[in-house]
Copies of this chain bind each other. A is one copy, B any other.
Amino acid sequence: MPLWFLTFAEILDFMTRAELFSQIQKKSSFLCVGLDADINKIPAHLKSESDPIFSFCKEIIEETADYAVAYKPNIAFFEALGPQGWETLQKVNELIPKEIFTIADAKRGDIGNTSQLYAKAFFEKMDFDSVTVAPYMGADSVTPFLEFEDKWVILLALTSNVGSMDFQLIKDENGKPLYQTVLEKSQEWGTPENLMYVVGATRGELIGEVRKIVPDHFFLVPGVGAQGGSLEDVAKYGMNSTCGLLVNSSRGIIYASGEKDFGKAARQEAKKLQGEMKNLLEMYL
């Protein structure tokens, strides 16, 4: 197609909030496909390939790219394969179409000079648009990631796992739960243009609480599907005027079939979710 037909995101190697919203509108989707590519779960016929995880991710991406606005490789699955896994990760990231937002789900965070190196690993050595970051160590563990122009931090606020109740919901002396303090404090560090939040889907009404505190920021929402969250609740409580949601599905899509038809099955699942998202966008946007 001629160049003037392409949007900014298709030409450039980074994505603004406006551009992400434009992709969401174009595809009528706020689907993030989680690439939790497990060597023990991928279809057997791939195991004779020279790089089975790459072949798996490649087919998943090719089949679901029409319906996804983001891909989220789960870094642990690649890291567990050793140096070869990092080569695979890099190749996988490179084959994701430029107009699709990429998330290194790494949950990093350390003192300043160390966080800066993690940022370099994901933003420079590889070219991810964003990385998930853990907040426990505070400002100087997060801000080094925010100093990279046109890159995003996705900060853990309220996660979807059982353990989220151990610390994230602890109320301070004024009755404010920790995750709310994380949301408030971190707004001094970044803006809706470079900071998103992980907000689990397992409790719909809590997403509404989060939305009140951060009206403009995007949320990366795990926990829909396999972990039991409801897509309707997420949209009802979480959507804002630029959608403001990236809802992740990993296992439900990528392991929809364990056979040779896994790509087509993933496509069907992604398409189904996109259809639901289209309706929700029409309803709430």
Contact = CB atoms under 8 A, between A and B. Distances in A.
B178 A164 contact: no
Given A137-B163, A138-B167, A80 B173 contact: no
Interface in A164-184: 164-168, 170-173, 175, 178, 181-182
A260 interface: no
A72 to B, nearest CB: 12
Interface residues of A, number: 58
A170 B168 contact: no
A52 interface: no
Interface of A: 36, 74, 76-77, 79-84, 86-87, 90, 105, 107-115, 117-118, 120-121, 125-126, 134-142, 156, 159-168, 170-173, 175, 178, 181-182, 185
11 contacts: A81-B125, A83-B86, A86-B86, A134-B134, A135-B166, A138-B162, A167-B178, A167-B181, A167-B185, A172-B172, A172-B173
